[in-house]
Chain A
Amino acid sequence: MKTIIQKNLKYMVLLPLILWQTNVLAQQNIHGKVIDGKTSQALPGVNIVVKGTTNGTATDPNGNYSLSVSASNDTLIYSYIGYQSQTVPIMGRSEINVKLMSRALQGKQLVVIGYGTQQKRDLTGSISTVNSKQFKKNVTPSIGDALQGRVAGVSVQNSGTPGAAPYVKIRGPATFGNNQPLYVVDGVPVGGIQDFDLSDVKSIQVLKDASAAAIYGSRAANGVIIITTKQGQKGKVKVNYNGYYGSQSIVKRYDMLNSTQYQKFDDLILQNAGWSIPPANDPNSSNYVDPNKVNTNWQNAAFVPATIQKHDITISGGTKNSTYALSGSYFDQGGTLKGPGPSFNRYTGRINVDNTFGKFEVKSSAYYANWKKINLTGLHGASPIFDILHAIPIQPIYDPNNVGGYSGTDGQIEPTISLNVIGANNLLQSNTNVDRFLGSITAKYNFMSNLYYKMQYSYDNSFVKGFQFIPDYNLGFFYNNSNAKLDVNEDRYNTQIVQNTLHYKKNIGDNHIGLMVGYTQTVSNHNNLHGHAEGYTQPYFEVLNAGTQNKNTSGYQQKNTLRSFLGRLTYNYKDTYLVNGTLRRDGSSRFSPKHKYGIFPSISLGWRISNESFFNSISFLKKNVNDLKLRASYGKLGNQDIGDYAYTAFINNYAHYEFNGNMAQGDIQVSLANPNIQWETNISRDIGLDIGLLNDKVTLNIDYYNNLAENILVQVPIPPSTGSVSAPTINAASLLNKGLEFSADYKGSKGAFHYDVSGNLSTLHNKVLSLGQGNSAIYGNGTKTVVGGSIGEFYGYVTNGIFQNWDQVYNYATQNQAPNGGRNSVTAQTHTAPGDFKFKDLNGDGKITADGDRTFLGSPIPKFKYGFNANLSYKNWDMSIFFQGVYGNKILNRMRQLVQDEAGYGNYDTYVYNNHWTSQNHSNTVPRPVYGDPNNNGRNSNRWLEDGSYLQLKNLQIGYTIPHKISNKVGINNLRIYVQGQNVFTITKYSGYSPIISHVLTGVSRGGPSGTADGLFSRGVDVGSYPQPRTLSLGLTLGF
């Protein structure tokens, strides 16, 4: 007791002394100058703070500074964007001059490339590193989605459907099949990138040309995206939390008719076809629907706000020989459509542990993801978004008398096909549940400091369960079910990969040599099991056992293997002349024995002009240009993603028939096959410039690429008279993709204001060189692909005004004119009449035909696309703004076709209601309304094409970091709160929900447009793409 008092007494005595002393020392002033370590230029705006305080200043335009400090044993931190920070103890000095080294010149920034790393400044291929701080600001579960607009040459098509996997393309399509790039996570090629969480990502590299990607050979034709996850760092335990919570809503609406308008217009449409008005519209009928009582605005009823939230936590740390990072995340996105779906939620967990034991290094990684998606449920194949517009306002939402409780229409009362989407979305159940485990272990043995051997074994297992239950329901005409049924689908995928590589490095004088050789093999399996049962009665037990009829099961297995030999040589002379060569030989089970192996070489060269003496002899260049590198590459990539067993013709066993009441087994070949199927190849050429200006305050990258995709497997539409249900796949097509890519980054600061502005712009010129046998065209949904054009150009008729009178009808090229010059209201009911469109007789043969009078109307491929990002900070405030957009593409708006075709069956928009042709209103743009549209005014024509250019404020985030002084009091290292908006606004002329079209449809709707949206060949066709919601959220990051 005594001692404690004594000790305290001592402090009590000393305390005033200390305080006094501090006051005295506060007078101390430090001054000095900060210059660039290489050029000795003064650096203005360098931040200087006293370590552990907020006391600080910045250098003036001449690089000079002065600062008052409280203690001569304090430490100063000098930091400047683009430069390595320096920590300098004062040690009693009053003048401290500092040289800062440019980060770019440190030569230590490593970029992860295939099977290794490389110094960024030594890159000779086209590799973009994505700024992970920027893309993480997206409110999205998906890594692919977050790339939109961030990287020149990368295009992302995404849907607003929660959990939908975006379509990512690098430098245009190299195949007609799967165009997605190869994703490599911590060295393991993986599929299903939507299973991975953005918060785990440490860095992303996009390998765009062959010299970068050819090391992945036959899997790299679409480019490669390399993802590295967070590893632990030596030091004490760090805990980081990040979370946000927000609200999403679909903002835009089509201006549709209300009940009164609808009935009036519907009557007109029917009467123009000689039909009587339906009971629902007839005030004298007992089935009359009073528009004052029923007036459903389906869009407002169906689109509802929904929440979105995400929480992730990372715990990391390490000792001298061991580091670890543990992380977990939860993401939940509700659907913006009334009902349980579509929605998505996902849990992930990751453990990364690295251990070093002398010459041994062992990295182990385990990843687990579980997600559940409630699917968007449609009926008869149409997108529910499409059906929302189509539904008629005189149909109420609910009807307690119907099985299921939702209303439907009655064909006897109202001739329409009107789906109650809210009813369908609530009644039909469909979901997907995924369990995924990815484990990998890497052993590295360092024989010498410059020679090591590495082996990685990975096991990737996914269990995908699909569930669909269709209860008894009655949603009226065309939409009912009286036999409840269940479908359960289970897919198990597993992939085992063994990768062995040997790495060697040697410096001989100014010669730096690197060598890597490797061998890998991959075995992938897929097992499918499907169960079906019907005849469920209420109360429903939604398991197969509870079904009473038609129970059956089916299943199949698939397997493929890949064996690869690979090698890379890098050579660098004096940092000035750079060479990189790779070679990969792949063997795949997917080809016939004759064609199993393919060789994929690449070479790239780099020349750092800024190292040359002639360059440095020009003082202007020496002063302003710190780095100038010219690089060029050439190589060949392959694609083996052609499906399993494609080279063999098979016997189908389900061609059964009935004889005398018994099933008669039927076996036959139903499709022709091509035994000579070969690798698809992509010859990639790239020339690029990397420029660093003003000590890398400004960086510029310019690339020109010219890729020739050859031997593209294509199912040339073969004549149906062959009788083959599908066309054999042949290596026949070739495509040219070329374009320019620019990206620029400018960073700096002024006082406490820091900015980092970056932008990118890229062009794609796509040209079809060959489509195989006969080069017959490929038709998509309103598109046609021909040699000489680009993929999926819009194709249709050209409108030429509207017939104003019968003379015009009969003096014009034949469309569907009634024979014998029938010029009366009866012929108008089923034939071309005044008020109908004239379509241009392009071949001048006097009749309008599909063969002769359709033409190309525009391309879905933008002339260029761009992204612009600004990160700004001032003291504790920060803000980021991200715009992205495209220019010069067209969209085929089939949604507008639906609400403007004036042919009956559904609701219409106010534009055609107000502007349609009548004998009084001689419109030249909106034809007459008539049931069945006998002139087919609604056919695919330029009428439905719209400018698809847009500029979107994709992300806006404003954050505030609580001063360390305050947060530290509650033991928090770092505490930041932010608000953000995603898809804040879009500037576009496109009239639909959103110019960002994703292809979501695989089927067709009865009464809707025919044809299917089949991906690549029908991009830019809006058939009810789920609109991206606007999201506002509030977030928090927390670090201990």
Chain B
Amino acid sequence: MKILKYSKLLVLVTGLTLISTSCDKNLLNVTNPNQQTAATFWKTSKDAVHATNAVYQTLQSDGAYGRFTDTYEDLRSDGTHAESPWTEFTHAGDFQTLPVSFQDNRVWRAYYIGVFRANQVLEHVPGIKMDSNLKKRLLAETHFLRGIFYFNLLKMYHNIPLVLHTSSDPSKFDVPQTSPDSVWMQIDKDFQAAIPDLPLKYSGDNVGRATKGAAEAYLGKSYLFQKKYQAAATEFKKVIDSGVYGLVANDRDNFDKKGENNKESIFEVQFSSTLGGSGTANGNGIWGTPQPNWGENNLRGNTYAPSGFGWADIEPTHTLENEFLQDSTINGNVDPRLPASLFYYYPGETVYGVPYKQAYPNSYKTAIFWRKYERDTPGGNESDVKNGIDNRLMRYADVLLMYAECLNDMGQTNSAYKYIDMVRSRANLPKLANTKPNMTQSQMMTQIAHTRFLEFCGEEHRYDDILRWGWLKDPQKLKWLQQRDPEFNGYKPGHEYLPIPQSALDANPKLHQNPGY
């Protein structure tokens, strides 16, 4: 009898549960408790600022300056080579990148992710009711960033789709490639649109955002690539005359943590080993959805780090080391940029605090590695893949040398001395004005190239220079490069650009592979 009552009670309870749940008219209306929908966003100035910050994040991603933009740009130069077991690095060095290469794919994806974010800001922020100056500045920053994204895509892939609007309509996904000339026009337009509304400087928590000088320098660089020397010179001169920038006394301050955002820095990608989640380098470089554990560090540190302290996938060439040793300072010493840039053997040299000979007992005489952007902390190493040193994309030294180059290209070789010597003097090298006065235009060009090679080694500039100077298409220059770095033996016409990633071709039938692949 007791059991009977118990069972009836159970039936009653179940019945009540049924009735209470079935009366719920809103049963099927479940909203996501985790995330804001896009429809409720884009309402406040806070939304505008946060969205613009998200555009900046693209720069940290693995395909951008987290690692692979650096590696592709550097590996194809004569200052860097790869003996990595990761064949995609050796293929990059040999100009043999395959369309199915997955880090190449990451680079392509990274910048288009950035373009998507930038396009959202440019579409939605104008409609937000907010402080108009702030709004203008955010839009200008975004134009600047989109300019960089397309600039990098263009110089790496050459034939690219130009996407300037967002759309969730699948019939609009397949955008064809645009002529490189129209992409250059768009890049110039973005940088031009950025200049008027950007401030010369920021303070406090805004330091690191795009400045007027950054947009001018990048616009100048874009003109330089297009061989518009006068227009480029004008922009560089604005930066020089702005009075905001100068060279730091110690070259090393440009490559470590403490010298970040210094007066020589015009624009740099901000990295941190501590900010964000505990994850390594933006989720270890996956291009997926940002996750709470994404850190703001880079994988470049580990990838370039010396053997035993990192992966040493990317190593400097002895050509680079030897070229540093061609010159001595006015005191007869080694160019200080050599020990600042490379680990190489000399008495007293240490690597992460370990005496060089002890670290490489069998190969200390010949082993050289990158020091630039490495932490080199005694007792440490890069195996935590949490390098947080900023990447200086645009330094004042670069503006000076590009300006010198423009002057020389316009036939004003004598005026170029001043600017190239500013950079040489910081390295305590004798002034060319004194040692090599009255150079011809081509002699000056040789000096500029030599100076740029050393000053910016491992800073993703050398291959840009080789490309825009047309050296790969000049048989003599190509042969010279092959002597300096046998990886150039792998060069084939067309391979000055990376292949369009196979996944992009597969997804978009309107795309064509680059010639030569």
How many Å lie between the Cα of A411 and that of B511 in the bound state?
40
Chain A 354-393 against B: per-residue CB contact (8 Å), 1 yes, 0 no? 0101001010100000000000000000000000000000
Chain A residues near B311: list those with CB within 8 A: 478
- Cα–Cα distance between A830 and B95 once the two chains are bound (Å): 11
| Closest Cβ neighbor of B502 among chain A residues | A850
The answer to whether A480 and B383 touch across the interface, beta carbons within 8 angstroms, is yes
The chain B residue with its CB closest to the CB of A660 is B207
User: Is B7 located at the chain interface by the 8 A CB criterion?
Assistant: yes
Among B18, B41, B56, point to the contact of A666 (Cβ < 8 A).
Answer: B56
* A415 interface residue (CB < 8 Å to B): yes
| With A357-B7, A655-B290, A670-B289 as contacts: A722 and B37 at CB distance below 8 Å | no
B 331-367 to A, binary, CB cutoff 8 A, 1 in contact else 0: 0000000000000000000000000000010110000
- Contact assessment for A557 and B33 in the assembled complex, using a CB-CB cutoff below 8 Å: yes
Q: Does any Cβ of A come within 8 Å of B211's Cβ?
A: no
**Contact partner of B41 among A322, A411, A557, A669, CB < 8 A?**
A669
Give bound CA distance, A668 to B56, whole Å. 11
Q: Is the CB of B293 within 8 A of A660?
A: no
Instruction: State A237–B292 Cα separation when bound (angstroms).
Output: 57
Q: A443-B11, A654-B292, A1010-B102 are in contact. Are A724 and B362 (CB under 8 A)?
A: no
Q: List chain A residues, Cβ under 8 A from B85.
A: 411, 415-417, 478, 904-905, 1007
A779 at the interface (CB under 8 A from B): yes
- Assess whether B54 is in contact with A726, with CB atoms less than 8 Å apart: no
Q: Decide if A287 is an interface residue (CB 8 Å cutoff).
A: yes
B32–A720 touching, CB < 8 Å: no
Report chain A residues within 8 Å CB of B47: 667
Q: Does B17 contact A (CB under 8 A)?
A: yes
Contact B288 A726 (CB under 8 A): yes
Residues on A with C-beta less than 8 A from B186 are: none
Q: How far, in angstroms, from A666 to B161 measured CA to CA in the complex? A: 26
Residues 687-727 of chain A: 1 if any B CB is under 8 Å from the residue's CB, otherwise 0?
00000000000000000000000000000111111111110
Write the chain A residue with the least CB distance to B50: A667
Q: Select which of B261, B294, B362, B384 is within 8 A of A279 by beta carbon.
A: B362
Shortest CB–CB separation between residue B497 and chain A, in angstroms?
16
Judge if B175 is at the interface, Cβ distance under 8 Å.
yes
Instruction: Name the residue on B nearest A596 (C-beta).
Output: B28
Whether a CB of chain A sits under 8 angstroms from the CB of B312 is yes
Minimum CB distance partner of B291 in chain A:
A654
> Contact between B14 and A668 (Cβ–Cβ < 8 Å)?
no
For residue A662, CB closer than 8 A to chain B, the reply is yes
> Quick check: is B467 within 8 A (CB to CB) of the other chain?
no
**B175–A719 touching, CB < 8 Å:** yes
Asked whether, in the complex, the Cβ of A850 is within 8 Å of the Cβ of B38, the reply is no
Q: Does A556 contact B (CB under 8 A)?
A: yes
Instruction: Say yes or no: B168 contacts A725, CB within 8 Å.
Output: no
Q: How far is the CA of A443 from the CA of B15 in the complex (A)?
A: 9
- Closest-CB distance, B267 to chain A (whole angstroms): 13
Q: Which of B11, B272, B503 contacts A720 (CB 8 A)?
A: B503
Query: What separation, in Å, do the CA atoms of A182 and B303 have in the docked complex?
Result: 47
Cβ contact within 8 Å between B87 and A932:
yes
How near does chain B come to A660, taking the closest CB pair, in angstroms?
Answer: 4
Would you call B204 an interface residue if the criterion is a C-beta within 8 Å of the partner chain's C-beta atoms? yes
- B 3-40 contacts with A by CB, 8 A: 3-4, 7-8, 10-11, 14-15, 17-18, 21-22, 27-39
A774–B108 CB distance below 8 A: no
- On whether the beta carbons of B173 and A719 are closer than 8 Å, the reply is yes
Which of A556, A560, A718, A826 interacts with B507 by CB under 8 Å?
Answer: A718
When chains A and B are docked, how far (Å) is the Cα of A607 from the Cα of B509?
53
| Interfacial chain A residues near B170, Cβ < 8 Å | 716, 718, 728, 730, 772-774
Interface stretch (choices B247-255, B275-283, B424-432): B275-283
Partner of B29, one of A482, A589, A936: A589
Determine if B53 and A656 form an interchain contact, defined as CB atoms under 8 angstroms apart.
yes
Q: Give the distance to chain B from A827, nearest Cβ to Cβ, in Å.
A: 8
What residues of chain B lie closer than 8 Å to A779, measured between beta carbons? Answer: 503, 506
Q: Which of A609-617, A643-651, A953-961, A979-987 participates in binding chain B?
A: A643-651
Look across to chain B and name the residue whose beta carbon is closest to the beta carbon of A904: B85
- Docked Cα-Cα span, A322 to B10, in Å, equals 16
- Do A655 and B32 touch across chains, with their CB atoms under 8 A apart? no
Query: How far is the CB of A555 from the nearest CB of chain B, in Å?
Result: 9
* Option from B8, B28, B96, B362 in Cβ contact (under 8 Å) with A563: B28
- Which residues from B are CB-within-8-Å of A433? none
A653 to B102, CA, bound (A): 27
Which one of B112-120, B214-222, B394-402, B456-464 is at the interface? B112-120
Min CB gap A719→B, angstroms: 4
Q: Which residues of B contact A561 (CB under 8 A)?
A: 27-28, 30
Given A657-B296, A661-B272, A717-B506, the answer on whether A666 and B57 have CB atoms closer than 8 Å is yes
Does B241 sit within 8 A of A, measured CB to CB?
Answer: no
The answer to whether B270 touches A658, judged by C-beta atoms less than 8 angstroms apart, is yes
Given A443-B10, A498-B22, A651-B38, also A721-B30 (CB < 8 A): no
- Give the contacts of A956-1008 with B (CB-CB under 8 A): 1004, 1006-1007
Given known A-B contacts A654-B294, A666-B50, A850 and B100 have beta carbons under 8 A apart: yes
Is B53 touching A666 in the complex (CB atoms < 8 A)? yes
Which residues 470-496 of A have a CB within 8 angstroms of B?
A: 478, 480-483, 496
Contact A721 B36 (CB under 8 A): no
Interface contact A658-B296, CB-CB below 8 Å: yes
- Which of A83-91, A120-128, A671-679 lies at the interface? A671-679
Which residues on A sit within 8 Å (CB–CB) of B501? 720
In the complex, chain A residues whose CB is within 8 Å of the CB of B50? 665-668
Decide: A851 and B505 in contact? CB cutoff 8 A.
yes
The verdict on A400 contacting chain B, using a C-beta distance below 8 Å, is no
CA distance A841 to B113 in the complex (A): 36
Complex CA distance for A827 and B22, rounded to whole angstroms: 76
Q: Does A144 interact with chain B (Cβ within 8 Å)? A: no
Q: A716 — which chain B residues lie within 8 A by C-beta?
A: 170
Known contacts A589-B29, A659-B207: does B307 contact A412 (CB below 8 Å)? yes
Cβ of B3 and Cβ of A666 under 8 Å apart?
A: no
Is A663 touching B275 in the complex (CB atoms < 8 A)? yes
Q: A73 in the interface, Cβ–Cβ < 8 Å?
A: no
Expressed in whole angstroms, the Cα–Cα distance for A96 and B31 within the complex equals 75
Q: Does B51 lie at the interface of the complex (its beta carbon under 8 Å from any beta carbon of A)?
A: yes
B415 adjacent to chain A (CB < 8 Å): no
Least CB separation from B56: chain A residue = A657
Tell yes or no: B508 within 8 A of A by CB: yes
Minimum Cβ distance to chain B for residue A282 (Å): 11
Q: Would you call B209 an interface residue if the criterion is a C-beta within 8 Å of the partner chain's C-beta atoms?
A: yes
Q: State in angstroms the CA–CA spacing of A239 and B263 once bound together.
A: 86
Residues of B within 8 A of A720 (CB): 105, 108-109, 112, 501, 503-504, 507
How far, in angstroms, from A660 to B289 measured CA to CA in the complex? 25
Contact A649 B37 (CB under 8 A): yes
Are A1007 and B113 within 8 A (Cβ)? Answer: no
Q: Considering only CB atoms, which chain B residue lies closest to A274 in the complex?
A: B486
Closest to A362 in B: B7
C-alpha gap A287/B261 in the complex (Å): 46
Which residues of B are found within 8 Å of A830, using beta-carbon distances?
94, 96, 489-490
Write out the residue numbers on chain B whose beta carbons fall within 8 Å of the beta carbon of A287. 362
B55: which of A652, A668, A905 is its contact (CB, 8 Å)? A668
A651 to B27, Cβ gap below 8 A?
no
Bound form: Cα–Cα A415–B307 in Å: 12
Q: Give Cα distance in the complex from A1004 to B100, angstroms.
A: 14
A717 touches B11 (CB 8 A): no
20 more A-B contacts (CB under 8 A) besides A412-B308, A645-B35, A656-B294? A415-B83, A521-B27, A649-B168, A650-B38, A654-B276, A656-B53, A668-B50, A668-B121, A669-B38, A670-B117, A716-B170, A721-B112, A721-B160, A721-B175, A721-B508, A772-B170, A831-B490, A905-B85, A932-B90, A934-B96
Q: List 22 A-B contacts (CB under 8 A).
A: A286-B362, A443-B15, A457-B14, A483-B384, A556-B34, A650-B38, A654-B294, A655-B53, A657-B54, A658-B272, A659-B53, A666-B56, A666-B290, A669-B41, A674-B168, A718-B170, A721-B115, A723-B119, A723-B163, A726-B289, A730-B170, A850-B99
Leading 4 A-B pairs by shortest Cβ distance: A723-B116, A655-B54, A550-B278, A668-B54
